[in-house]
């Protein structure tokens, strides 16, 4: 029997890829109220969890390169959400810190995660299980990619 040709939805990679875009569409109207894009929001989340990080540290957390982060951080700086300054102890490092304005955004964004979680249509338990499963896939992929 001739197996039918696989379609994009048959691929786990496409399921992940397109669901990422779908999350973006849900977040966009929420984040526009804060003048943040989604990747910028992720940087803010990382800084709300731990302030005063280097570009490299943020890149490790978010799995992004400096070539992505540097322009993004400059835009966050221009908006007045963070400051960027060379570490006097080691001028190679750039330390990124929240401004008061940047820290204050956390309040306004407090309900966003619950709001988006609800939009997934999954119960908290199922959502947690799904996240764990995806993170294990990510870990395996990164190991495979070297």
Partner DNA sequence: CTCGATTATATCGTATACGATTAGATCGTA
Partner DNA sequence: TACGATCTAATCGTATACGATATAATCGAG
Strands (E), the chain: 53-54, 82-87, 90-98
Which partner from the list a second copy, DNA, none does 31 bind, CB cut-off 5 to 8 Å by kind? none
Which 79-138 positions form the footprint of DNA (CB under 7 A)?
A: 84, 89-94
Interaction pattern, residues 70-99, with a second copy; x per rule: CB under 8 A = ------------------------------
Burial class (CB in 10 A: 0-12, 13-18, 19+), 44: buried
Asked whether position 46 contacts DNA by CB under 7 A, the answer is no
* Contact criterion met (CB below 8 Å) for 28 and 22: no
Asked whether position 24 contacts DNA by CB under 7 A, the answer is yes
How many whole angstroms separate alpha carbon 106 and alpha carbon 115? 15
Residues that bind DNA (CB under 7 A): 17, 21, 24-25, 28, 37-40, 54-57, 59, 63-73, 75, 84, 89-94
């Amino acid at each position: 029997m001739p197996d039918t040709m696989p379609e994009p939805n048959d691929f786990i990679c496409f399921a992940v890829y397109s669901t990422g875009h779908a999350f973006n569409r849900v977040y966009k109207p929420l984040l526009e109220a804060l003048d943040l894009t989604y990747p910028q929001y992720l940087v803010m989340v990382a800084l709300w969890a731990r302030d005063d990080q280097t570009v490299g540290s943020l890149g490790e957390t978010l799995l992004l390169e400096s070539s992505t982060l540097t322009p993004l951080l400059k835009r966050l700086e221009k908006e007045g959400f963070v400051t960027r300054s060379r570490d006097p102890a080691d001028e190679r490092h750039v330390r990124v810190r929240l401004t008061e304005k940047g820290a204050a955004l956390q309040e306004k964004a407090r309900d966003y995660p619950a709001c988006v979680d609800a939009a997934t249509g999954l119960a908290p338990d199922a959502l947690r299980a799904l996240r764990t499963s995806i993170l294990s896939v990510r870990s395996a992929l990164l190991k495979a990619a070297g």
